[in-house]
A and B are shown apart, each in its own frame.
Chain A
Amino acid sequence: MPISLAIYWLILRKNRARLWFLLLFSYFFYFLADSRYILLLFGLSLLNYLIAGKRIYWIGIIVNLLSLTVFKFWGTSFGPLIEILNSLNIGLDPSSLGLAVPLGLSYYVFKYTSYLVDVNKKRYPACQDWVAFFTYGAFFAEISAGPISTFDKISQQLAKLPKRLSNEFALNGLLHLSIGIGKKVLLVENLSRMLRLDIYVAEGPENGLLNIWLLIFLQGLFLYLDFSSYSDIALGLGYLFGLNLPENFKSPYISKNPSQFWQRWHITLSNWFRVYVFSPLSRLLLSRLGSSWRFASQVIANLVTMTLVGLWHGLNIQFVLWGFFHGILLSLHVWSVQKHFRWVDTWIDQVATLAAIFAGWVFFFSTSFINLTFKLRSIFGYYGWGKINPVLADIPHDLYVPLLIMLPIVFSNYAEASSLVQLPFKSKAMVVLAGIVLATALLLLGNPGDFTYVQF
């Protein structure tokens, strides 16, 4: 990375050369990460580039979504279907077809689909520069796990890359990388060690309320810190290459209601679904059903959109239920607002929202339907309080500090690098500290676990 930055800023002077460098570097990165599917990335980029703005643009949308379905869903999530087919003696093993999930497929497919729709709706013109378009799809900082940027925002920047790395971008890059890598190495890796202690070990009555709530609490923290640290790193790398990528998180666990949660959690994905699914669908329902059905239209649109959000993570009953559950939460919120309940947006709402969101992680992290059933029973106290798992007595002492630190970080307004970047003045001590944290975290990096959201 330091070598590529040096080439980018010191050797390459022309915008075109830098654009080519970004493209080649991104494809090289993709080749190293997942060489099998580099042609898929190239092919979809070419198709979407050629077809945008034409009458047959919908073919591009179908191919995009079909490739997502075939590669992602077939390779990972048709487990139950495979089991049924196997039970009928129709042997079908997806692994024998060699279909694994291509790296970043769901991210670049969503980018290209939004591009086709936007161009068709004349929100911006079709791209005339294939190098910029291919770079948009394959940009190395975004490709693994987002953020899902829109073409108009990125293309404007790619067309006019800064001539030199500005102080502002260099500092934003440092702060984002420092906090992103710091969160991953110093907090997430330790949380992962804690989760490996197997707090909830068996599907049985020995797991009461205490163990299951502790488990989902830790899993919720893990997912957020892991994913937001990736986003911080992506943004930091973007800044260092002169690009301003969209924020993906905004301290979601302090949301006062489910609607606010989705404005703070995986922001670019929820924006995508809001613009390309929820809004058109609710408009369609309203026009068909009439304004007297406004609330029903909104509920249906919420349920459909959120179920699709769940499906985006994998065609798996747990993800579908998770999405549907969030659809219900959003609909309940809409209903509460309509009824002008006094507790809307108060601390009661905030606590209830937080509890519901954490409870929802049960769907997300369940390994099977049976596992989910046991966990849901535990969560509602079916097995009583239960006993705290004795493994908790053996928590390594070096985990105390990371576990204590992550609580105020997660449940405050200051969990993201963006909150630090927005501070109007930066003192010497602060930036020196950022440099020290980044250097130490990089030295401690070792072999970190994969980022969870890369698999989606």
Chain B
Amino acid sequence: MRQTRQLIPIIFIVFLGFLAVENFLTEFQASEISPFSNALISLLQNLAGIGLFLLLFWHIFKSHEPDTTYLKNPARTGWLSFFVISTICILTVIIVNPRGLYGIRIFPQLANALKQEKIQYFNNLDYDPELIILGSSRSLTIAPAYIKNSLGLSAYNFGFSGVRPSELSLLGDLIFADQKKELPHVILFEISPANITGTEGINFAEIPIEFLPYMSAQDAANLILDRYLELFNMHQFSEAVYVLQYIGGKPPQTYWEVQPDGYSRFFPPDTLSQALERQLKERQNKQPCDDFDPESDEVLQKFVSLSDEKNTSIIFYYSPVHPTFKQEYMDISPKYEWCKKIFFDLLNGIDNKSSSIFFVDLSDPATAQLAIDGSGFYDGFHITPANAEKLIDYLAPTIQLANQVAEANLCKSLARYSCI
């Protein structure tokens, strides 16, 4: 009778275990960190759920009579197992450091390490860049060397992969606070509705620690607290497990490589058509402009006032989007239509108000005659260096005009004789 009573829950648990593993194998795609991480988290979650079930139904599996395995001090053993598991996870996160939040660098890291590298390169530049590129990963392939050759302007690419509005704001402080450097004449600012979002739910942990001197006391405290909390985060742990395979200097399958002028080379995991298919699949349940909040345009306003105060021209541009991605993801969304209109009105309004602010819509690749095959796009919105050069060619007259306006404004404010 007792055996029969135990048999049903055992079959049930085996079935649950099968479901958990089957779900993991279905979702698991080791070529990219995100699917791996999600699959591992759901596997651990399901296994922990089975553990919870086992715990609550322990009486079915164990007799109520003491035997040799029963403990004198079960509390110590239980809490010890809790501390061992927690310590293993925390140490893995610290040592592997998948997002570059902590000091150790044995494994290749994700976006955060790139941000730190870029800040360090910028602080160690042996020239004062006349043009600075800001934006997300969409701007990373614009080569400062190409700008120098074609336009004669020294440049630095300060694009951040996965940039947050708060980081853009802090970058503004960093660029314009450094008194030792000549201030830039032009900022080429890749902007999208993703930069117009509220601060709710912001994860301060991902903001580089180099920004601490520019942060308010409250934000600095949040950064430290969020970094501490990330130690206990299953996402960090699952990403660390993924990154473990790259021990010994082996590069990951997908990564950006930064050069001292901020230009970044991208090593994509798949071809353009595969990437488009993947991105569209990943966004099946998402809408573009999910976080867009027209009231949260602090970044724009900050750069507009910086432009005015520091005599720097700013060229905002909306980065090219691959036609397939645009048609099959963005254009079919009513939300995108709504946010696009507000976004364009906002940018055009700023452009019309000031002679040193420019806005160029390059969302249609045809505008700058960009290639739309694999030679021009890595995926739906990341352009190759070849397309980035064409983009600069198209923007060249605007950049030169912006540079002239900035110089003229600077002359006015300094009343230099040499400006005549």
The answer to whether B73 touches A414 (Cβ under 8 A) is: no
> With A and B bound together, what is the CA distance between A443 and B64 in angstroms?
32
- Residues from chain A with a CB closer than 8 A to the CB of B73 are 167
A sample of 8 more A-B contacts (CB under 8 A), given A186-B49, A442-B232, is A174-B79, A182-B51, A182-B52, A397-B27, A405-B50, A405-B53, A409-B52, A435-B79
Contact segment of B38-46, B163-171, B360-368: B38-46
Chain A residues contacting B51 (CB-CB under 8 Å) are: 182, 433, 436-437, 440
Whole-angstrom distance between the Cβ of B170 and the nearest chain A Cβ: 23
Question: Are the C-beta atoms of B85 and A439 separated by less than 8 Å?
Answer: yes
The reply to whether A444 and B71 contact each other, CB–CB distance below 8 Å, is: no
* Contact call A398/B54, Cβ cutoff below 8 A: no
Chain A residues with Cβ under 8 A from B71's Cβ?
426-428, 431
Choice from B22, B47, B52, B82 contacting A174 with Cβ under 8 Å: B82
Surface stretch bound by A, among B55-63, B301-309, B406-414? B55-63
B interface list, Cβ under 8 A from A: 12, 16, 19-20, 22-23, 26-27, 41-42, 44-59, 62, 64-66, 69-71, 73-86, 89, 201, 232-235, 237
A177 nearest CB neighbor, chain B only: B82
Residues in chain B near residue A187, CB distance under 8 A: 49, 52
Among B27, B50, B78, contact of A171 (Cβ-Cβ < 8 Å) = B78
Q: Is A423 an interface residue (CB 8 A)?
A: yes
* Nearest A residue to B235, CB-CB: A446
Chain A to chain B contacts (Cβ below 8 Å), 6 pairs = A397-B22, A405-B16, A409-B52, A441-B52, A443-B232, A444-B44
Say yes or no: B78 contacts A408, CB within 8 Å. Answer: no
Cross-interface CB contact of B49 among A179, A402, A419, A427, cutoff 8 Å: A402
B48 touches A442 (CB 8 A): no
Question: Is B54 touching A433 in the complex (CB atoms < 8 A)?
Answer: yes
- Chain B residues with CB under 8 Å of A175's CB are 78
Minimum distance in angstroms from B8 CB to a CB of chain A: 10
Taking the closest CB of chain A, its distance from the CB of B294, in whole angstroms, is 23
**A56 CB, min distance to chain B CBs, angstroms:** 45
B59 and A170 contacting across the interface, CB-CB below 8 Å: no
Complex interface bits, A424-456 against B, C-beta within 8 A gives 1, otherwise 0:
111111111111111111111111000000000
> Residue among A186, A187, A430 with the most chain B CB within 10 A?
A430
Cα separation A293 to B70 with both chains bound (whole Å)? 57
With CB as the reference atom, state the residue of chain B lying closest to A422.
B59
Chain B residues in 8 Å Cβ range of A437: 48, 51-52, 55
Check A179–B78 contact: CB distance below 8 A.
no
In the complex, which residue of chain B has the Cβ closest to the Cβ of A182?
A: B52
Q: Which 8 A/B pairs are nearest by Cβ-Cβ distance?
A: A435-B81, A431-B78, A435-B82, A170-B75, A398-B42, A439-B85, A171-B75, A426-B74
User: Considering residues A409, A423, A435, which has the most beta carbons from chain B within 10 angstroms of its beta carbon?
Assistant: A435
Q: Using Cβ atoms and an 8 Å threshold, which residues of chain A touch B48?
A: 182, 186, 436-437, 440-441, 444
Mark A residues whose CB is within 8 Å of B. 167-168, 170-171, 174-175, 178-179, 182-183, 185-187, 190, 397-398, 400-402, 404-405, 408-409, 412, 414-415, 419-420, 423-447
Closest to B39 in A: A398
Cα–Cα distance between A431 and B20 once the two chains are bound (Å): 23
A182: chain B residues at CB < 8 Å are 48-49, 51-52, 55
Main secondary structure on A side of the interface with B:
helix
- Please pick, from A168, A435, A446, the residue contacting B85 in the complex, using a CB distance under 8 A: A435
> A432 contacts which of B53, B78, B235 (Cβ < 8 Å)?
B78
Q: How far is the CA of A424 from the CA of B62 in the complex (A)?
A: 11
Complex contact B232–A429 (CB within 8 A): no
For B232, list chain A residues within 8 Å (CB).
Answer: 442-443, 445
A235 to chain B, nearest CB (A): 15
Whether the pair A439, B62 counts as a contact (CB closer than 8 A) is: no
A420 near B55 with CB under 8 A, answer yes
Chain A residues near B85: list those with CB within 8 A. 435-436, 439-440
Q: When the two chains form their complex, are residues B42 and A179 in contact, meaning their CB atoms are under 8 A apart? A: no
Report A-chain residues with C-beta under 8 Å of the C-beta of B82.
174, 434-436, 438-439
Could you tell me the distance in whole angstroms from the C-beta of B242 to the nearest C-beta in chain A? 16
Q: Decide if B233 touches A446 in the complex (CB within 8 Å).
A: yes
Which chain B residues border A444 with CB–CB below 8 Å? Answer: 41, 44-45, 48, 234
CB neighbours of B77 from chain A (8 A)? 428, 431-432, 435
Contacts of B45 in A (CB 8 A): 185-186, 190, 398, 402, 440, 444
Known A170-B79, A443-B234, A444-B45: A179·B64 in contact at CB below 8 Å:
no
A contact residues around B55 at 8 Å (CB): 178-179, 182, 420, 430, 433-434, 437
In contact, B53 and A434 (Cβ under 8 angstroms): no
Other-chain residue from A397, A400, A408, A419 in contact with B53 (beta carbon distance below 8 A):
A408
Contact B89 A439, beta carbon cutoff 8 Å: yes
Q: Contacts A187-B49, A401-B46, A428-B71 known; A179 to B56 CB distance under 8 Å?
A: yes
**When chains A and B are docked, how far (Å) is the Cα of A447 from the Cα of B79?**
24
Across the interface, do B64 and A423 meet the contact criterion of CB distance under 8 Å?
A: yes
Tell me the complex Cα distance, A432–B84, Å.
10
Which of chain B's residues has its CB closest to A438's CB? Answer: B82
**Complex: A409 Cα to B79 Cα, angstroms:** 24
Report if A400-B70 is in contact (Cβ < 8 Å); known contacts: A414-B57, A442-B232: no
Q: List, in ascending order, chain A residues with CB within 8 A of B233's CB.
A: 443, 446
Q: Can you name the residue of chain B whose Cβ is closest to the Cβ of A404?
A: B16
Partner of B44, one of A167, A424, A434, A440: A440
B23:A398 contact, CB within 8 angstroms: yes
Chain A positions within 8 Å of B26 at CB level:
397
B56 closest partner in A (C-beta): A414
Instruction: Give the chain B neighbours of A431 by CB distance below 8 A.
Output: 71, 74-75, 77-78, 81
**B56 near A167 (CB under 8 angstroms)?**
no
Contact partners of A440 in chain B: CB under 8 A: 44-45, 47-48, 51, 85, 234
Closest to B236 in A: A443
Closest to B70 in A: A425
Q: Given the interface contacts A178-B55, A428-B69, A435-B85, does A167 sit within 8 Å of B75 by beta carbon? A: yes
How far, in whole Å, are A425 and B68 apart by their CA atoms in the complex? 11
Report the separation of the CA atoms of residues A434 and B84 in the bound assembly, to the nearest whole angstrom.
Answer: 13
Q: When the two chains form the complex, which single residue of A400, A423, A443, A445 contacts B58, counting CB atoms closer than 8 Å?
A: A423
Closest chain A CB from B327 CB (angstroms): 24
Q: Is B64 a contact partner of A424 (Cβ separation < 8 A)?
A: yes
A439 and B49 within 8 A (CB) = no
B49–A405 touching, CB < 8 Å: yes
Cβ-closest chain A residue relative to B77: A431
Which of A183, A400, A430, A442 makes the CB contact (< 8 A) with B19? A400
Contacts of B201 in A (CB 8 A): 447
Complex Cα–Cα for A237 and B238 (A): 29
Q: How far is the CA of A185 from the CA of B22 in the complex (A)?
A: 21
Q: Which of B42, B54, B74 contacts A428 (CB 8 A)?
A: B74
**A249 CB, min distance to chain B CBs, angstroms:** 13
Least Cβ–Cβ distance between A423 and chain B, in angstroms: 6
* Minimum CB distance partner of B47 in chain A: A440
Question: Given contacts A414-B57, A431-B74, A435-B82, are A183 and B16 in contact (CB under 8 A)?
Answer: no
In the complex, how many angstroms separate the beta carbon of A437 from the nearest chain B beta carbon? 5
A448 to chain B, nearest CB (A): 12
> Beyond A420-B55, A437-B52, is A432–B79 a contact (Cβ under 8 Å)?
no
- B58 CB contacts on chain A under 8 angstroms: 420, 423, 430
A233 to chain B, nearest CB (A): 14
A400 contact set on B, CB distance < 8 A: 19, 23
Q: B227: shortest Cβ distance to chain A, in Å? A: 16
In Å, the complex CA distance between A434 and B75 comes to 10
> How many Å lie between the Cα of A447 and that of B205 in the bound state?
14
In the bound complex, CA of A183 to CA of B48 (Å) = 10
**Smallest distance from the beta carbon of A92 to chain B beta carbons, Å?**
27
Which residues from chain A contact B65 at a C-beta distance below 8 Å?
A: 425
A401 touches B16 (CB 8 A): yes
A183 x B52 contact (CB < 8 A): yes
Q: In the complex, A168 Cα to B75 Cα: how many Å? A: 7
Docked complex Cα distance between A5 and B84 (Å): 19
